[in-house]
Amino acid sequence: MASDGAMDRIPDRLAALARACRGIAAEVVLVVPSGVEPTAVGDPPLKVRTVGASSGLVPVQWGHGILAASGPIVALTTSQFRVTDDWAYALLRVFETTETVAVGGRIALAPGTGYLGRAAHLVRYSEHMSETLDGAPRDPAGENAAYRRGAVLSACPDLREGFWEVDVHRVIRSDGGIVSFDPAVVAEFAPVVSLRGMLRNRFLHGGHFGTHRVEVLGWNRWLALAVTPLVPFLLLMRILRRAARAGHRPWSVLAVVPAVLTLLVAWAAGEAHGAFRSGSPVRHAD
C-alpha cells in the first residue's frame, strides 16, 4: 500500500484489507516517503510492516514495497482505495486457475464521493470501470492489480526507481506472459483530493507520457508538441464513450465535465512539457 496522501484514512484501508485477506497467509507492506511518520494504523488482524521510500511518488513507493515483500504474489493498492471483502480471494482464484502473470480488476467509485473525486475517477479510471470482460482494458491499473513477484523482479530490475505498470506489462508480454483483467476483483476509489494536488498529479503523469512518446515510441518532438492542444478534447470524447459503455447516467457525467476538462488540460500541458524536455533525465509521475 502506497501512502498516496489520505494518511488519516490508512486505518480504514488496512481494516478493509484485513477483511479481504481473512484466512489467507498475508502481510501488508505500508510504504511511506522517508522521513514521514504514518498516523496510527489501528490494530488490524494482519501483519503490517512499514518501509520508507526515496520519494512520495506512488510508483516509486510500489517499487520499494515489492522489494520488501516476501510472498510469491504481490498485490498493489494505495491509501486512496478501499478493497472489497472478497478482493483477495478473487485475485487468488485467477492465479490458481490460469497461467496469468498479472491480473487487474475493476475500479469502482465509493458511495458519497464528492465532485472532484468523481471527476478524478473519470479522468484516471474510465478505462477500468467495466463490469464485464467486453470492456476490459489492455493494461490494468496498478492501483488494483496483483503480480507474480518473481516475474516482476525479472521484468523490472530497477524497482527502486519505480514500478511503472504499463512498462512492466510490455516486458511481461514480450516474454510470453499473460496480463489479464477480472471485473470480479473490485477496489473502490475513495479519495481525499484537492484541486491543486490533482492538477499536479495530471501534469506529472502527462510529462512522463510525453517523454515516453518521444524517447520510446519514436515520435518527432515537434509533432508531439503540435498535437497537445487536441489532447483534452480527444480524451474527453474517449471518457464519455467509456462512461456510457459502463452504464453511467449521462447527467452525472456531464455535471463534472468542467472539472474533467480542467484536469485534461493539465495532462496535455504535462505532455507538452515532457515532449519538449525529452532527452533530459525523466522525472517520473505518481
Task: Please report where in the chains the cell 502473470 appears, as a residue.
Answer: 101
Is residue 283 in a domain? no
The Cα 242–Cα 246 span in angstroms is: 6
Residue 152: domain span? 7-189
Is residue 281 in a domain? no
Domain shared by 101 and 227, yes or no? no
Q: What is the pLDDT of residue 136?
A: 82
Domain shared by 142 and 200, yes or no? no
Residues β-bridged to residue 31: 2, 51
Is residue 115 in a domain? yes
Q: What is the pLDDT of residue 38?
A: 60
Domain shared by 150 and 212, yes or no? no
CATH number for position 129:
3.90.550.10
Residues β-bridged to residue 83: 187
Domain shared by 145 and 19, yes or no? yes
Domain shared by 47 and 180, yes or no? yes
Domain shared by 40 and 87, yes or no? yes
Q: What is the pLDDT of residue 30?
A: 94
The Cα 265–Cα 197 span in angstroms is: 14
Domain shared by 152 and 61, yes or no? yes
Domain shared by 177 and 216, yes or no? no
Is residue 170 in a domain? yes
Helix 257-276 to helix 115-125 angle (10° resolution) is 50
Q: What is the pLDDT of residue 229?
A: 93
Residues β-bridged to residue 254: none
Q: What is the pLDDT of residue 285?
A: 41
Q: And the C-alpha cell for 14?
A: 488496512
Domain shared by 135 and 221, yes or no? no
Q: What is the pLDDT of residue 284?
A: 42
Taking only the tens of pLDDT, the chain with its 286 residues reads 998 877 888 889 999 999 999 999 999 999 998 776 665 555 556 788 999 998 888 899 999 999 999 999 999 999 999 999 999 999 999 999 888 999 999 999 999 899 999 999 999 999 998 888 777 888 999 999 999 999 999 998 889 989 989 889 999 999 999 999 999 999 999 987 788 888 988 898 888 889 888 988 888 889 989 999 999 999 999 999 888 888 888 788 889 999 999 999 999 999 999 999 886 544 444 4
The Cα 211–Cα 282 span in angstroms is: 7
Are 129 and 107 spatial neighbours (Cβ–Cβ below 8 Å)? yes
Is residue 1 in a domain? no
Q: What is the pLDDT of residue 249?
A: 80
Number of domains in the chain: 2
Which of these three, 165, 189, 213, is where a domain ends?
A: 189
Q: Which residues contact 226 (CB under 8 A, 6 or more apart)?
A: none
Is residue 160 in a domain? yes
Domain shared by 39 and 85, yes or no? yes
Q: Which residues contact 255 (CB under 8 A, 6 or more apart)?
A: 115
Which of these three, 124, 159, 189, is where a domain ends?
A: 189
